[in-house]
Amino acid sequence: MKVIVMGAGVIGVTTAYYLAKQGASVTVLDRQPGPGLETSYANAGELSYGMTSPWAAPGIPMKAVKWMFMKRRPLFIWPLISPTMWKWGYDMVRNCNEESYRLNKGRMVRISNYSRDVMPDLIAETGIEYDGREQGTLQLFRTAKQLKDSKADQDILSEYDSPFEVLDSAGCIAVEPALAEVRSKFVGGLRLTADRTGDCRIFTTALAEKCTEMGVEFQYGTNIRAIAVENGRIAGVDTEIAGRQTADAYVCALGSYAAGLLKHTGIKLPVYPVKGYSVTLPVTDDAYAPQSTIMDETHKVAITRLGDRIRVAGTAEIAGYSNRLGPHATNTVRHVISDLFPRGGDLSKAEGWTGLRPMTPDGTPVLGASRYDNLFLNTGHGTLGWTMACGSGRAVADVVLGKTPEISFDGLTAERYA
């Protein structure tokens, strides 16, 4: 079977891998000159199985108002004249209730846990190195109230069998010794012991190389103009330079740009870009640097150790498809690293980056079959695309090839928006 995968981010490349592994002839199309150069490029590096939750949760609208007035705010909303943006926001707010939260979380955890289970096999099969570590995530609480409020999260973690431990400040320092320097700044933490970390771009690039060895063809520098529909089926993918590309089946893994290209096929996906920022800096002294991921609960910023580098990422900005990296855009993430690990890395050598999270209002990605029998979707992974990539790549590949996937697709397909 010949399959065209649209998009060479972490989602497209993992899908291509699982398709090729099962004997499909795969071509991947991407406008960039290589794999993983858009949102998969410099994310926070968390494989956050334990922190898999929708942003749309009870109480979030009130918190969002508070965040927007903070000095170093984790959330910006630019009041654009965009019906799509406001509709998406309205749908997100409608998901901020107990019942929707539980439903959406259950769907997301299904994919995350599957990813957690299948990723080790992929790593063993390919021998890929990606600055990976298996030392958990430490959610760091600066106030007693944050620690107390985490009880609700602990109950949910127990319900989903996600292992965790509650730590006082000495316990936090035991897992992240460099925090001893700033012990007065936090009161404790919640550690998600099964979480892992790693560099998503390095992984995506290395996996694309393996895919090439397996016979996958990557056509870079190929801008997709349209997905052509004829006689009720996908007739091909129209590209700027290479004209129409055809296959037996098509997988749309275009991240934040999926909705725009699918719109003309009649598929309406509420996938909206939510901008985030990161900086990456070299470690100056291991003794003062983070060892795994530390999630600063106050600023909603994640600090992750990736080999001899530190990645600091956060901020949610609702500003349309802007890729602009303004001079002050990374101020919040810079503040958090210098506040918690003042001697760990060299901020003067920090590289700034911005990316667009492909977010659905319910937090759950859109996977599997579409209204066309030869078009399949793998997009809308929002804040958790790196975490969910292997699981969704493998499950979607199974569906494309007509096999029974190992997880249920109930509530994961575009059907739920119909």
Ligand X SMILES: Cc1cc2nc3c(=O)[nH]c(=O)nc-3n(C[C@H](O)[C@H](O)[C@H](O)COP(=O)(O)OP(=O)(O)OC[C@H]3O[C@@H](n4cnc5c(N)ncnc54)[C@H](O)[C@@H]3O)c2cc1C
Answer yes or no whether residue 38 interacts with ligand X by CB under 6 A. Answer: yes
What whole-number distance in Å separates Cα of residue 179 and Cα of residue 169? 9
Q: What are the two backbone dihedrals, phi and then psi, of residue 292, each rounded to the nearest 5 degrees? A: -140, -140
- 362 lines the binding site for ligand X (CB under 6 A): no
Stretch that binds ligand X, among 79-87, 211-219, 262-270, 383-391 (CB under 6 A): 383-391
Using rule CB under 6 A, residue 359 touches ligand X: no
C-alpha distances out from residue 176 to 257, 298, 345, Å: 38, 18, 15
Site for ligand X in 256-275 (CB under 6 A): 257
> In Å, what is the CA distance from 191 to each residue of 54, 176, 180, 275, 320?
19, 11, 17, 27, 34
Residues within window 285-304 making contact with ligand X, judged by CB under 6 A: 302
What's the rounded Cα separation, in Å, for the pair 385 and 10?
Answer: 7
Q: Does 334 bind ligand X (CB under 6 A)?
A: no
Q: Which of 383, 391, 398, 400 binds ligand X (CB under 6 A)?
A: 383
d(C-alpha 399, C-alpha 198), whole Å: 28
CA–CA dist 398, 405 (Å, integer): 5
Contact 295, 137 (CB under 8 A): yes
> Taking CB under 6 A as the criterion, which residues in 190-229 touch ligand X?
223-224
Interface with ligand X, residue 133, by CB under 6 A: no
Minimum distance from residue 99 beta carbon to ligand X (Å): 25
Residue 37 to residue 324: CA distance in whole angstroms: 15
Q: Report the residue count for the chain.
A: 418
The interface region with ligand X, picked from 3-11, 67-75, 282-290, 395-403 by CB under 6 A, is: 3-11
What is the smallest separation between the CB atom of 15 and ligand X, expressed in angstroms? 9
Site membership for ligand X, residue 54 (CB under 6 A): no
By the rule CB under 6 A, 32 interacts with ligand X = yes
Residue 368 makes contact with ligand X by CB under 6 A: no
Q: Least distance (Å) from ligand X to the CB of residue 253? A: 6
Return the residue of 5, 15, 24, 45 that touches ligand X, per CB under 6 A. Answer: 45
CA pair distance 15, 391, nearest whole angstrom: 9
Interface residues with ligand X (CB under 6 A) are 7-12, 29-32, 37-40, 43-46, 48, 223-224, 253-255, 257, 276-278, 302, 313, 355, 357-358, 379, 381-387
